[in-house]
Amino acid sequence: MAEAVFHPPRRKRRVFESYEAPFPVDVGGKDFRICQAEIINNNVIVRNPEDIEQLYNKGYFGKGILSRSRPVFSISDPLLAAKWQGVNTNMPIITSRKYQRRVQWARSVLKEQGLDDSSVSQILDNYTKPLELEEGGAQQPGGSCNQTGPNTENPELSRECPADGGALSAEGGAGGSREGSCQECGVPVPCGCEEKQSPELRPWEGVEAKENAPEYVLVQEEEEGSSCPEGDSVNAQGNIAKEEKLVCRKNPFRIFEYLQLSLEEAFFLVYALGCLSIYYGEEPLSILKLWEVFTEVKPDFRTTYMAYHYFRSRGWVPKVGLKYGTDLLLYRKGPPFYHASYSVIAELVEDHFEGSLRRPLSWMSLSGLNRTTASASKELMLCYLIRPSDMTAEEMSSPECMRRIKVQELIVSRWVSSRERSEQDEF
């Protein structure tokens, strides 16, 4: 058997961030933080923005559900933000078409709750009415601005206190708000009144308070204005130009981005690092319960987690390798810094290498998978997790079984006859 040749990881040409830490824990333990996640539809979701930043910046765990990797989703249009860069605000700037699309989504949510068209129109008209701010530009939680033209050197701003709060969210509720009829305000739609929560729900109170707060956006709209001189009244009606302005309104349909952890990442944070608590309903799950639940959700979870735990403990950053047809992709430091070096297929076998494999590969499928991996400048690795033949099913029901597991790595490379002959001739 030929000896594998080590190829150093390929660093990305453009790196826009600095490396913080390999894990979301401090060595000294002074600022140790336990993050919180919850299981929703067999997925592990982190909702708290502080926890999201902690887990992703230190170790690159998970990915944003609305982003490619780092959770940085924003409804703001980058072209409009550059166009109106003179506006002193940090509110998102969107087009009128995008805003109307969110109004339609909110209308559909309200109709699903049994409201008639007139009630829906009245609710949306009151909620999406323009809001203004006083001169000075800095937005307040209860106001917004109405600006005309990209030139904001001398803006004319006024302030008007909004009388309503809350917004329709992507989860089908109103922005401040729980679903159903509100007993305090009498409106048969989600409202912004406070809801009494049980002590078990306290871990999510801070997140829900932020999600229930109304979101203000700047909408670029067009208005008709005269482009002729003031003294020219003859052609005043013929030269009408549309002038763009920014109008501040409430977003009637909010979309929140969360951090989605793979089952392997979530269990590693709970079992190996102890910096994550996973809730199902109102109570956190124990390590043994998570091992059982994740195995039911994903039958080959034990195999993939053992491989994940092995490579994580050796400094690699494993990510899901679904797009390359493998179990894991191995990165040095993290995806922002290096391209993936290896595509890994994990197999749990006995010490005599007997029995059926989890993923049997024919020579044709192995060759195709190897060519696909090589075309992406990666190497295919087979990771064999060898368990003793006397290990029982009861031992496998606990993550402590990994103490008796041995690992053997095998790198698959394509043998090219012409290249091998030329190398032999050189000797």
The pair of three-digit structure tokens given for residue 158, joined into one six-digit string = 């006024």
Q: Which residues are catalytic, by number? A: 331, 339, 378
The pair of three-digit structure tokens given for residue 195, joined into one six-digit string = 């809801």
3-state secondary structure of 386: strand
Q: How far apart are CA 112 and CA 189, in angstroms?
A: 10
The pair of three-digit structure tokens given for residue 117, joined into one six-digit string = 């068209």
The pair of three-digit structure tokens given for residue 151, joined into one six-digit string = 């030139």
First and final CA of the chain: distance in angstroms?
19
Backbone angles phi, psi at 324, to 5 degrees: -110, 10
Half-sphere exposure for 174 (CA within 13 Å, toward CB): 28
The alpha carbon of residue 97 and the mean position of all alpha carbons in its chain are separated, in whole angstroms, by: 25
Number of H helices, E strands in the chain: 11, 17
Q: How far is CA 125 from CA 145, 176, 201, 249, 255, in A?
A: 18, 17, 34, 11, 20
Q: How far apart are CA 315 and CA 307, in angstroms?
A: 13
What residue ranges in 171-327 does DSSP mark as E strands? Answer: 216-226, 240-250, 253-254, 259-261, 276-280, 283-284, 316-320
What residue ranges in 41-178 does DSSP mark as E strands? Answer: 43-46, 63-64, 93-95, 146-148, 168-169
Q: How far is CA 246 from CA 41, 95, 399, in A?
A: 40, 9, 57
Q: How far apart are CA 54 and CA 60, in angstroms?
A: 9
Neighbours of 185 (CB within 10 A): 11
The pair of three-digit structure tokens given for residue 338, joined into one six-digit string = 């290096």
SS (H, E, C) 308-340: HHHHHCCCEEEEECHHHCCCEEEEECCCCCECC
Strand partners, 385: 348, 407
Q: How far apart are CA 361 and CA 36, in angstroms?
A: 39
